[in-house]
Amino acid sequence: MNWTAALHRGGVELAAVGIPVGAVLLSHPPFTWSLTAGLVACLVLPLRHLWPPLAVLGGLWGLAGGLGWPAAVVSLYALGRRNGRVWGTLPWLVLPVVAAVTPVLVTQDLSWQQIVLTVAYVGINAVAPAFVGLLMATRTRLTASLRELEQVREDALAASQDAARAQERARIGREIHDAVGHHATLIAVGAAALAASTQEEPTREAAERIRGLAKRALAEMRVALGLADGGAEQRAGLAEMAALVAGAQAAGVDVEITHHGARTEVAPGVGRAVYRVVQESLTNAVRHAAGASVRVDLTWHPDELYVQVVNAAPARRRRVAFAAGGAGLSGLVERVTSVGGELSAGTSAGGGFAVRATFPLVAAAPPIPAQASV
């Protein structure tokens, strides 16, 4: 691509200089020095890339000799194209007109009508290429403006689409909250009524547990949909890990959690992500590997937290569930990566299924005494 552009520029430059040189060589010189002056005007044309007036000034001798117009057309066009403004270009047109008209007035006896026509003709020849350059500069600016307008239009369209999607998500969230929240509330109310009316202690405990789970599910749904304050969101973190495991144990899941290393304070977002990883892993273990034992390991390093959740059941059904469902694991990956972590899931060494996540830790905080394993 660079070679192509270089060849293109070289061809354009060769034509811009070569064609005027050919025109000068084929012309009849009015003075003995006209040929030399015309060739010099052609040879200084590359100076227009540095500053267009240099090429114009270098061609004045050729205009005075009568053979400078081929080079002047190129230099005046470059002047208008580079300058891009009428009032910045017009003053430079005076010198070519004076250089071309003066030898005619000196060497010939003209009437005032002929003088006017001569000046007008030379002025038109000087103004025409400069104004073509001005028009090209204007066209370039308009093209760039159209591109910018098109980009602005695309950005505005994308923003409107994002706003529409956000409104639709908000509408769906409200509908989910209204429908699921209604049933979760009925479950909590029914469980409370059962706990109050039964005389059997196991039944009452089970009803209270169901009531607590229903209220918790409703609160977490409100947080996920953005319908609750930040305080509720802050509670779903490492501080509730023990309660999460205890609830799973109460539901009959053989789960054990262990901590390795000195625990440190973590950012709220990291704590919530760790909680969700363990919560989702326990949910899938119960759903797809019922009866399997689950081990949750949290390993604390100075600069990262390593989380591993492993179930001991055969991994076939669990792996298929993750691959088929997709949303649970994809949601975990998005949540973990949003706080700078990494997540992977696959078959463990013992034939079960393991979910592993690594979270970065910020500057060291005072260590928290390790809690006993649950």
pLDDT at 55: 92
CA 210 vs. chain centroid, Å, equals: 46
Taking residues 298-325, report their average pLDDT.
Answer: 69
Q: Residues 273, 336: contact at Cβ < 8 Å?
A: yes
Taking residues 224-229, report their average pLDDT.
Answer: 60
pLDDT at 362: 65
pLDDT at 226: 65
pLDDT at 19: 93
Which string of DSSP letters, residue by residue, matches 240-297?
GHHHHHHHHHHTT--EEEEEES-B----HHHHHHHHHHHHHHHHHHHHHSTT--EEEE
pLDDT at 228: 52
pLDDT greater at residue 318 or residue 209: 209
Give the Cα separation of 290 and 280 in Å (integer).
14
pLDDT at 46: 94
- CA separation (Å) from 278 to 237, 256, 372? 10, 12, 18
**CB hemisphere CA count around 247 (13 angstroms):** 18
**3-state SS assignment for residue 28:** coil
Per-residue confidence band for 129, with pLDDT thresholds at 50, 70 and 90? very high
pLDDT at 359 over 60: yes
- Looking at residue 98, its amino acid is V
Q: Are strands 255-260 and 294-300 parallel, antiparallel or unpaired?
A: parallel
Per residue in 170-216, pLDDT (tens digit) is 777 777 777 787 778 778 888 888 888 888 888 888 888 888 888 87
- CA separation (Å) from 263 to 259, 284, 314, 370? 8, 27, 32, 6
Taking residues 305-332, report their average pLDDT.
Answer: 63
**282: nearest Cα among 319, 313, 242, 311:** 311
pLDDT at 280: 85
- Look-up: residue for tokens 């053989």? 254
Per residue in 9-64, pLDDT (tens digit) is 888 889 989 999 999 999 888 888 999 999 999 999 999 999 999 999 999 999 99
pLDDT greater at residue 324 or residue 167: 167
pLDDT at 314: 55
Give the Cα separation of 51 and 241 in Å (integer).
72
Mean pLDDT computed over every residue of the chain: 82
pLDDT at 59: 92
Per residue in 76-107, pLDDT (tens digit) is 999 999 988 888 888 999 999 999 999 989 88
pLDDT greater at residue 338 or residue 147: 147
Our CA angle for 212, 277, 341, nearest 5°, is 145
pLDDT at 44: 94
Q: For the chain, what percent of residues have pLDDT higher than 70?
A: 87
Taking residues 98-127, report their average pLDDT.
Answer: 91
pTM of the model: 0.49
Instruction: Please give the order of strands across the beta sheet that includes 304-311.
Output: 255-260, 294-300, 304-311, 353-360, 342-347
- Looking at residue 228, its amino acid is A
Per residue in 253-295, pLDDT (tens digit) is 888 899 898 888 888 778 888 988 998 888 887 777 677 789 9
pLDDT at 328: 64
Query: Token pair for residue 182?
Result: 């209604």
Q: Residues 35, 29: contact at Cβ < 8 Å?
A: yes
Give the Cα separation of 36 and 66 in Å (integer).
11
- Looking at residue 244, its amino acid is L
